[in-house]
A and B are shown apart, each in its own frame.
Chain A
Amino acid sequence: MSHVIPYIAAIQEAIREEMERDERVLYFGQNMATSPEDPFLKQFGPDRVRVTPISETAEIGMATGAAVAGYRPVVELYMAEFLLVATDQVVNEGTRFHFMSKGAVSVPMVMVAGYGFTAGWAGQHTGSIYGMFMGVPGLKVALPSTPADAKGLMTTAIRDDNPVLFFQNYLLLLEEGEVPDGEHAVPFGVADVKRSGSDLTLVATGYAVHTALGAAESLARRGVSVEVIDPRTIAPLDVDTILSSVARTGHLVLVDQATRHSSVAAVIAAEVAELGFSSLEAPISMVTALDSSIAYSKPVEEFVLPDEHKVVRAVEASLGLAPASS
């Protein structure tokens, strides 16, 4: 059985259920729990649910300290770019603690950050910056594309004994989808095949999963069978599922809203080029944002970002198809 809820509600459902299950889970951050009527505040009280000042460095560092002491904090950071203010805390403090203490200390915490508000929020609020955190040892990165994955990945993130960056997409927050009833945990490092196909493999991350699915649907109407894979977590990254799909299709197109050289697509392309080269019947193609800041003006914003049309063109090129008349 399942129920239909928006992506944001699915995330909140996971946090609430984990807070009910484990009293060590704390929840604090910016612009939350500002009213006594806040449902989390009412249910769990001000010791476990707190609004913070605009102090990202201290928020994340405090979460690290609380995690070391045995709690499991979830930190709401609001916008992904605000993480950058506290880059040391995100990248170089809590993430190193377990390793440098020969495993004596672990840091179970979740940092929640929204990304990709590509609706005129301009240069500092629209980036898909998750790629830059992929190579940080000790840090796990979840990137859900559906309400079910959002809930399941948040559940797993809270239970994980490591720092986890949980990137929620702003334009998906109100999108509804089915979420399994009861406890729902999605394992990290296990990709999901969002659509099965046999002619070409599309791998897409986060918001771009929907771009890829839209392209796959329009290609299906032309008799082209495209498989769409969503890694769901980019650290750890499930390369095996991608390799086995490419072994069947021989064609790989990667779709990512991040800038090309800081994208998950670039990492997957490198992995498949090294480990799956013999399967490839055409060059790997990446459909990403351009290596540019995102403009405020709508036509320029659209020009920089990947879209279904660009994905379809890349698929046509990989398969040697004549472009559809548009």
Chain B
Amino acid sequence: MAGGGTGDPGGGAGDPGGGAEDPGGGALDAAAAERLLATMWRIRAFEERLEPLKRSSMVHGLTHLSIGQEAVAAGVCTQLRDDEPVYSNHRANGHALAKGVDMGKLLAELMGRADGCCRGLGGSMHVVDVAHGFLGATGVVGGNLPFAVGSALASRLLGRARPAVVFFGDGAAQTGIFAETVNLASLWQVPVVFVCENNGFAEFTPRSAHTRVERVSDLAAPFCVAARTVDGNDVVEVHGAFADALSQARAGSGPYLLECLTHRLSGHYVGDPGGYRAALEDEAWRARDPIARLVRQAAAAGWFDAEHARAAEAAARDEVEAAVAFALGSPFPDPSIPAELTYARS
């Protein structure tokens, strides 16, 4: 094996295939639709519970919510194997849950507890779960975009066809590192899928104040990168578009940029006064709630009925309460651990 193991979610030595069952992709069937619904409800229920936990200081630090954006995380991550890595950004809860991070360990992390997936050292912006190929997030916008190129490059060098995925927001497209990364991925034809969650806001600033480029996908063509923009609040559309991108990447193609137009229904972080949100048309977006839409689509397609949808919500809320109990039962970490973790031991 080349290099440090934690950068290679293909897992430990002797397990070059990663061992995970291929969760599929391609056209949506009832089972896949049910998985998308369950995933979106798990994210929604988790974050709805997180907000009061944060406001009552049970959750210690900075917390960004993705309520309203669940379709992107679900549509993308549920199709990936454990050895196909995902890099996230500061709004990471949904990506983490959809990629398979244990809900109890995620909440324990957000409460700064010893049983958190990073022993409480990382927090919400820096969740890492190597076993599930969730390679963390960055608190610096765009900071990990090239990591995905490196992961995909390494996978090719190792003789595998394991694409890497990186989520980023529309704000990150204005950083220099974005242009550098997309160009390099194109130049070397690395199998990476750049998934842009375009929610129209970079932190507190609307897109119109950031750029004259209407779509992030417009930035791909000058670098000879294929791209597509989809309705990011339609999980069926996200799933289908990402399935296409993923199958090409697994077949060894170069980079792809998938832009998902969406909207966060809460502030930049919990506690954000949100004065800038007056003109955001939240109500119009609520009508495009990705969960409610999937329930309607499922009824029309015969995937599942309303009763199943209610059961999925109830199951998600039960799982959240179990996660709360687990996290509250976990101790705080030994404060002296920074000494052992500042450097890797060679």
Residue positions of A touching B, CB distance < 8 A: 30-31, 34-35, 51, 53-58, 81-82, 84-85, 117, 119-125, 290-293, 295-300, 302-304
Contacts and interface: CB of A to CB of B under 8 A. Distances in A.
A292 B339 contact: yes
A54 B142 contact: yes
B138 interface: yes
Nearest to A117: B62
Contacts of B335: 299-300, 302-303
Given A54-B172, A293-B342, A297-B60, A122 B139 contact: yes
Contact of A120 (B62, B113, B338): B62
Contacts of B120: 295-297, 300
Contacts of B60: 119-120, 296-298
Nearest to A33: B209
A296 B125 CA distance: 9
A295 B338 contact: yes
A82 B177 CA distance: 13
B276 A303 contact: no
Contacts of A85: 140, 143, 175-177
B210 interface: yes
Contact of B123 (A56, A122, A302): A122
A50 B14 CA distance: 56
A291 B339 CA distance: 8
Contact of A54 (B61, B141, B338): B141
B174 A55 contact: yes
Contacts of B333: 295, 297, 299-300
A121 B206 CA distance: 24
A55 B336 CA distance: 37
Nearest to B125: A122
A82 B139 CA distance: 10
Q: Which range holds the interface residue count of chain B?
A: 35 or more
B140 A303 contact: no
Contacts of B342: 291-293
Nearest to B114: A297
Contacts, number: 135
A303 B333 CA distance: 11
Nearest 7 A-B pairs (CB), nearest first?
A120-B61, A296-B123, A297-B112, A297-B120, A303-B335, A53-B174, A292-B338
B326 interface: no
Given A51-B209, A54-B202, A119-B61, A300 B121 contact: yes
Contacts of A35: 275-276
A124 B276 contact: no
Given A54-B172, A300-B121, A125 B62 contact: yes
Interface in B107-166: 109, 112-113, 116, 118-126, 138-143
Contacts of A51: 205, 209
B332 A297 contact: yes
28 contacts: A30-B205, A31-B204, A51-B209, A53-B211, A54-B142, A54-B171, A54-B172, A54-B202, A55-B174, A56-B175, A81-B139, A119-B60, A120-B123, A121-B61, A124-B138, A125-B125, A290-B339, A295-B112, A296-B109, A296-B112, A296-B121, A297-B60, A297-B120, A297-B121, A298-B112, A300-B338, A303-B336, A304-B338
Nearest to B120: A297
Contact of B126 (A30, A290, A291, A296): A296
Contacts of A303: 335-336, 338
Contacts of A291: 342
A-side interface mostly: loop
Contacts of B113: 297
A32 B225 CA distance: 33
B203 interface: yes
B337 interface: yes
B338 A34 contact: no
Contacts of B205: 30-31, 34, 51, 53
Contacts of B204: 31, 34
Given A119-B61, A120-B61, A297-B333, 12 more contacts: A30-B203, A31-B205, A35-B276, A53-B205, A54-B210, A85-B177, A122-B125, A122-B126, A295-B337, A298-B112, A300-B120, A303-B335
Contacts of A34: 204-206, 209, 276
Contacts of A298: 60, 112, 332
Contacts of A297: 60, 112-113, 116, 119-121, 123, 332-333
Contacts of A56: 175
B306 to A, nearest CB: 40
B337 A124 contact: no
A293 B338 contact: yes
A54 B203 contact: yes
A57 B176 contact: yes
B337 to A, nearest CB: 6
A53 B171 contact: yes
A34 B118 CA distance: 36
B337 A123 contact: no
Contacts of B123: 120, 122-123, 296-297
A93 to B, nearest CB: 14
Nearest to A35: B276
Given A34-B206, A300-B335, A121 B141 contact: no
A303 B112 CA distance: 14
A268 B30 CA distance: 68
A127 to B, nearest CB: 11
